[in-house]
Amino acid sequence: MGWREEYRNPLTPFQKALLALDVKLTGTNSFNIRQAEHNIRQNRIDVEEFVWSSQPYYLADGGYSRVWCKGIDGHIFLSSVSRKEVFAAWENAGKEVEDVEVFTKAFIKDFIN
What is the full DSSP assignment across 26-89? H--SHHHHHHHHHHHHHHT--HHHHHH-SSPEEPTTTS-SEEEE-TTT--EEE-TTS-HHHHHH
Determine the pLDDT at residue 108: 93
Determine the pLDDT at residue 9: 73
How far apart CA 77 and CA 60 sit, in angstroms, is: 16
N-term to C-term CA, the chain: 34
Determine the pLDDT at residue 14: 94
Specify whether the CB–CB gap between 44 and 12 falls below 8 A.
no
Residue 58 — φ and ψ, nearest 5°?
Answer: -85, 125
Q: Which parts of the chain have pLDDT scores under 70?
A: 1-8
Determine the pLDDT at residue 4: 54
**Amino acid, single-letter form, for residue 84:** K
